[in-house]
Amino acid sequence: MQVLRSYVSGSWFAGKGKPSVLVNPATEEALAETSTEGIDFAGALGFARDVGGAALRKLTFAERGEMLRAMSRVIHANRDALLDLAMANGGNTRSDAKFDVDGASGTLAFYAELSKELGPRRVLLDGDAAQLTRGPRFVGQHLLLPRRGVAVHVNAFNFPAWGFGEKAACALLAGMPIVVKPATSTAIVAHRIVELIVEANILPAGALSLIAGPPGNMLDYLTGEDVLSFTGGGGTAATLRAAAPVVKDSVRVNVEADSLNSAILGPDAEPSSDTYNAFVRDVVRDITQKTGQKCTAIRRVLVPRAHLDQVVEDIASRLKEFVVGNPTTEKVTMGPVATATQLRDVRAGIELLAKESRRALGDGAFEPAGVPAGKGYFVPPTLFVQDKPLEASAVHAHEVFGPVATVMAYDDADQAVTIVRRGGGGLVSSLYADDRSAIGEIALGIASAHGRVVITSAKVADQTPGPGTVLPQSIHGGPGRAGGGEELGGLRGLGFYSQRSALQGDRAILDAIVERG
Ligand code: NAP
């Protein structure tokens, strides 16, 4: 069995003590084991800060961008092998695995390209210099400087490659070293990516470290210039926010957590129109892609009451075409959920939703394809229907992180906005409509509760990748339940890793400093 090692203080380290075992969720076969016991976390974070941070800060944005390009290339060059690992350890279909692995290389390449516009400098200007007194010479110039700490990245199990790539791209380009901690259960892909980057000797010593398993007491060693970027469940986020250095030393924290994302069929969208078909396509994709284990997946589907039955029928008939089973078996189009814990949680979530909504699909005999009898963590696509969403509660409060969604009826645009906002803040909501006044009313009514609102109208119906795809040009994150975080968004993504500071003084001196910086 493979033994995963962590990469700390410039060396590979195999932990001692009782290991965690990583399995194939389709067959429950053990694939690898890992332990982080015995890691000197204080030393690892210190090495990253002192050695990695110092080296990165000497490089220009363009030079850091070239490193991101090399990281992207090495991932892409090893794509097939990484896809195989994702299929085995994550229960991904090949297409799911591509979504993750290509998402990582694509995001790194995007930031490599972006670095060109920042060119040979090391300091980012934040706006123009502002005159501070009557005379024109005394001015204030805001700068964004790399924080002189370490960026600790704690990732969720569902995107071991993309989660690594999207966080790494912004941190490294901003000039901060990273310590990445993938979720233990699916760490094989992230472990291999780090191995490839280390073997290719792309980054300066200390710029990249890996904790391949449980975090131990690592967070106790965070200091005031460090940042902690977390993706995962809201409960874990609450624990991390209460960590002593976060409270005492104001460690900067970004949280990407649960989200009850919604899709709204607009009041004007007629069944069988291009806009309607795009809506059905996106809902079905989000229920099944990565077996519904996407933070951005549509969980709540809002439709005009008159179309409720038609929509349920159309979505259910498409979902019935999916073949659930071992992703390595031909014709399988949806794999298992990632872990035994996930299976338990998803089943419990389905029972909770069933208390208040009726089940239209997913209740009945179910035989996954290509697996030994009784093995694997499988859940069939499951669809609920809710006629009175304003009287329901679980559907707006409990994220079932699997192939599960609820279709709900609404009566007018105002009510649709109210229903969507019951989710308490989300990553993304999507609206399928062509009537500009309805689009304006709904989109502006829900936008402040979301990081993104995707508007799909007939003319872009075949161009949008759907709301579940996070593109690096736009921000990823959302208020409230979604964690209150913000990642990506082009250069905005560097802000979290930078300290804003205003230099005040003689304009000529400040200009010279900036020029040299
Ligand atoms: P999780 O159980 O909260 O774990 C997330 C990460 O936190 C894992 O790496 C885990 O490590 C680590 N962790 C747990 N306790 C910790 C502690 N005390 N100190 C430091 N790290 C700790 O979440 P998950 O089950 O992996 O992911 C599912 C959840 O993530 C869902 O709720 C989903 O909505 C959310 N999610 C959100 C986004 C987003 O971008 N908003 C994206 C993906 C997923 P171990 O694995 O070693 O326990």
How do the pLDDT tens digits run along the chain, 517 residues long? Answer: 899 999 999 999 999 989 999 999 999 999 999 999 999 999 999 999 999 999 999 999 999 999 999 999 999 999 999 999 999 999 999 999 999 999 999 999 999 999 999 988 999 999 999 999 999 999 999 999 999 999 999 999 999 999 999 999 999 999 999 999 999 999 999 999 999 999 999 999 999 999 999 999 999 999 999 999 999 999 999 999 999 999 999 999 999 999 999 999 999 999 999 999 999 999 999 999 999 999 999 999 999 999 999 999 999 999 999 999 999 999 999 999 999 999 999 999 999 999 999 999 998 788 999 999 999 999 999 999 999 999 999 999 999 999 999 999 999 999 999 999 999 999 999 999 999 999 999 999 999 999 999 999 999 999 999 999 999 999 999 999 999 999 999 999 999 999 999 999 999 999 999 887 7
Whether 35 lines ligand 1, by a CB cut-off of 6 Å, is no
Q: Are residues 388 and 332 in the same domain?
A: yes
Q: Are residues 207 and 59 in the same domain?
A: yes
Whole-number Å distance, alpha carbon 80 to ligand 1 midpoint, is 26
| Other beta carbons less than 10 A from residue 238's beta carbon | 11
Question: Residue 175, SS3?
Answer: coil
Q: Six-digit token pair at 481?
A: 């339940």
Query: How far apart, in whole angstroms, are the C-alpha atoms of residue 54 and residue 56?
Result: 6
Q: Are 102 and 77 in contact (CB under 8 A)?
A: no
Q: Residue 268 is part of a domain; what is its CATH number?
A: 3.40.309.10
Q: At what angle do helices 94-118 and 187-199 cross, to 10 degrees?
A: 40
Q: Is the residue at 480 inside a domain?
A: no
Query: How far apart, in whole angstroms, are the C-alpha atoms of residue 491 and residue 475?
Result: 10
Per the structure, the count of domains in the chain is: 2
Whole-number Å distance, alpha carbon 410 to ligand 1 midpoint, is 33
Q: Are residues 149 and 57 in the same domain?
A: yes
Active site residues: 256, 295
Q: Residue 56 is part of a domain; what is its CATH number?
A: 3.40.605.10
Residue 342: domain span: 261-475
Q: Are residues 131 and 267 in the same domain?
A: no
Question: Residue 289, SS3?
Answer: helix
Q: Are residues 420 and 449 in the same domain?
A: yes
Q: Are residues 33 and 105 in the same domain?
A: yes
Q: Are residues 157 and 292 in the same domain?
A: no
Q: How far, CA to CA in Å, does 67 sit from each of 9, 197, 227?
A: 20, 10, 21
Whether 236 lines ligand 1, by a CB cut-off of 6 Å, is yes
Query: How far apart, in whole angstroms, are the C-alpha atoms of residue 263 and residue 303?
Result: 9
Please name the residue whose Cα sits nearest to atom 31 of ligand 1: 233
Q: Six-digit token pair at 25?
A: 């969720």
Q: Are residues 368 and 450 in the same domain?
A: yes
Q: Are residues 380 and 493 in the same domain?
A: no
- Rounded to the nearest 10°, the torsion over CA 234, 235, 239, 240 is -30
pTM: 0.96
Q: Are residues 399 and 507 in the same domain?
A: no
Please name the residue whose Cα sits nearest to atom 9 of ligand 1: 183
Contacts of 4 (CB under 8 A, 6+ apart): 22, 32, 33, 34, 187, 188, 191, 212, 213
Q: Are residues 463 and 324 in the same domain?
A: yes
Q: Are residues 118 and 265 in the same domain?
A: no
Whole-number Å distance, alpha carbon 399 to ligand 1 midpoint, is 14
Residue 251 DSSP label = -
